[in-house]
Structures are given as C-alpha cells and as structure tokens.
Amino acid sequence: MLSELHKKHPEVTIDNEVVEPSSQQLHHYEVLVSQKP
C-alpha cells in the first residue's frame, strides 16, 4: 500500500509510525469480539 502511494506521489515523504494499542483498547476489542455470534 505504501509503495502504491509513493508511486502516485513520489515527492511526498511517508512516515510510517506503528503505535501499539493500550491494554484498555485491547480489552475493549476482546469484549467486542466475544459478543459476536
């Protein structure tokens, strides 16, 4: 995906920072998933 963006906009610098989820976010996600049929 990033390579496609770079092909279309070669002049733009892409800063891809990965942010880890907090324990609260993980818990919220687990609760939502457990409620799915």
The string of pLDDT tens digits covering residues 1-37 is 888 988 999 999 888 888 899 999 999 999 999 998 8
pLDDT at 10: 92
Question: Can you give the pTM of this predicted structure?
Answer: 0.45
For 1-37, b/e burial (b = at least 16 CB within 10 A) is eeeeeeeeeeeeeeeeeeeeeeeeeeeeeeeeeeeee
Q: Across the chain, what does the average pLDDT equal?
A: 90
